[in-house]
């Protein structure tokens, strides 16, 4: 639409600078870098092969692919894979999320408007309302739902046939899904953290798309601090690009300076990770400390700590989850440069 259509002249438009909120810019950046096919999707070799087979089998039998559950920490490519499933099977994609489905009616409206063969992506499916979950069981199994009309003794249920669809659910907390829901997915993909080599590949692909030149040392440095997560790798690349643009500095030295400025340490720990570690060590003598108490002390949601910080800290061997709570390991004390206190836990080998 032209600027004139809005009732002002082009020259006046050009002089107005409308700031784009950072989150919008980040989202656009993320979208631009999303692989569109399984062959462009880096790493997760096993999951890719499993998905490929599932999609090919469905295509050979001219049916909708089985329902797919994608489980794993944030930023590993669940949304990207859902888009790829739709793209590779040449089907339309509808996107929703658990928090947006707070009543069975929300889900009924969504399901009844699907076109035949559509891929329905529900992100954070573990956060869907319980009443909607129950409706989803029948929908996934028989492509049918029962709609309740009226209340109390006079209530009746009217069955409604749905168009066949493929549900792709994503969750960072597969343990929170009730078994009947989990069992109705034909395939569950557990996404793993990426190796540094795979992340270097992700960053090199993103640099090519952004027409940025980057040497292999810098690639390795960003990859090593990306916490096994492509989203973080792309985000750090963006910060490094900004730093180089503004300061006119390039190469490994610029990468290190940029990441230092943004508080990303050499293991890739960010502010939240370090807050979790230092709280366990400094306020709770290294632990054990329960998740709720830890979250309150750090000033974060327990879910954020459990799904965002903890999987990486456990994977790095910086914290252990014990029946009595979270414990900082010897490596965590060393990493924060705090002298260890001899405790029974260390004697137990933690």
Ligand X SMILES: Nc1ncnc2c1ncn2[C@@H]1O[C@H](COP(=O)(O)OP(=O)(O)OP(=O)(O)O)[C@@H](O)[C@H]1O
Exactly one of 51, 58, 78, 188 binds ligand X (CB under 6 A); that residue is 78
Q: Is 78 a catalytic residue?
A: yes
Q: Is 172 a catalytic residue?
A: yes
Interacting span for ligand X (CB under 6 A) from 28-36, 50-58, 131-139, 329-337: 28-36
Q: Taking CB under 6 A as the rule, does residue 33 contact ligand X?
A: yes
Window 212 to 231, contacts with ligand X (CB under 6 A):
230-231
Window 36 to 75, contacts with ligand X (CB under 6 A):
41-44, 74-75
202 or 313: CB nearest ligand X = 202
Q: Are 272 and 308 in contact (CB under 8 A)?
A: yes
Q: Taking CB under 6 A as the rule, does residue 169 contact ligand X?
A: no
The verdict on whether residue 48 carries a ligand-binding annotation is no
Q: Taking CB under 6 A as the rule, does residue 202 contact ligand X?
A: yes
Q: Are 127 and 98 in contact (CB under 8 A)?
A: yes
Exactly one of 26, 34, 160, 212 binds ligand X (CB under 6 A); that residue is 34
* DSSP state string for 180-235: HHHHT-SEEEEPPPPPHHHHHHHHHHHHHHTT----HHHHHHHHHTSTT-HHHHHH
CA angle 259, 264, 266 (to 5 degrees): 95
Q: Is 144 a catalytic residue?
A: no
The verdict on whether residue 78 carries a ligand-binding annotation is yes
Q: Is 123 a catalytic residue?
A: yes
Rounded (10°) CA dihedral 86, 89, 92, 96? -30
Q: Taking CB under 6 A as the rule, does residue 204 contact ligand X?
A: no
The verdict on whether residue 182 carries a ligand-binding annotation is no
Whether cis (ω within 30° of 0) applies to the bond prior to 336 is no
Identify the H or E element spanning 88: helix 78-88
Structure token pair of residue 31 = 């979208």
Please give the annotated binding residues for ATP, written as ranges.
33-34, 75, 78-80, 141-143, 184, 194, 231
What residues are annotated to the active site?
78-79, 123, 172, 231
């Amino acid at each position: 639409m032209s600027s004139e259509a809005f009732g002002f002249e082009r020259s006046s438009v050009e002089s107005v600078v409308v700031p784009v909120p950072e989150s919008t810019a980040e989202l656009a950046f993320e979208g631009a870098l999303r692989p569109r096919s399984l062959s462009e999707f880096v790493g997760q070799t096993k999951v890719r092969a499993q998905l490929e087979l599932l999609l090919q089998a469905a295509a050979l039998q001219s049916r909708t692919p089985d329902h797919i559950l994608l489980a794993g920490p944030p930023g590993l490519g669940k949304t990207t894979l859902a888009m790829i499933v739709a793209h590779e099977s040449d089907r339309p994609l509808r996107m929703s999320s658990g928090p947006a489905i707070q009543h069975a009616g929300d889900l009924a409206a969504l399901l009844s408007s699907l076109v035949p063969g559509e891929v329905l992506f529900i992100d954070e499916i573990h956060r869907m309302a319980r009443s909607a979950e129950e409706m989803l069981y029948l929908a996934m199994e028989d492509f049918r739902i029962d709609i309740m009309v009226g209340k109390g003794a006079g209530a009746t249920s009217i069955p409604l046939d749905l168009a066949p669809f493929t549900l792709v659910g994503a969750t960072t907390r597969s343990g929170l899904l009730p078994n009947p829901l989990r069992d109705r997915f034909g395939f569950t993909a557990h996404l793993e953290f990426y190796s540094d080599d795979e992340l270097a590949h992700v960053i090199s692909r993103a640099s090519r798309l952004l027409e940025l030149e980057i040497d292999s040392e810098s690639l390795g440095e960003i990859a090593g601090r990306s916490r096994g997560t492509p989203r973080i790798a792309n985000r750090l690349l963006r910060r490094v690009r900004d730093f180089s643009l503004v300061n006119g500095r390039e190469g490994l030295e610029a990468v290190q300076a940029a990441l230092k400025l943004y508080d990303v340490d050499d293991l890739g720990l960010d502010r939240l990770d370090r807050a979790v570690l230092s709280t366990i060590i400094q306020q709770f003598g290294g632990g054990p400390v329960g998740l709720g108490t830890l979250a309150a002390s750090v000033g974060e949601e327990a879910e954020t700590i459990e799904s965002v910080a903890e999987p990486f800290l456990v994977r790095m061997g910086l914290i252990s989850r014990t029946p009595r709570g979270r414990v900082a390991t010897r490596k965590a004390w060393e990493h924060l440069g705090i002298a260890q206190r001899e405790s029974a836990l260390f004697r137990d080998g933690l």
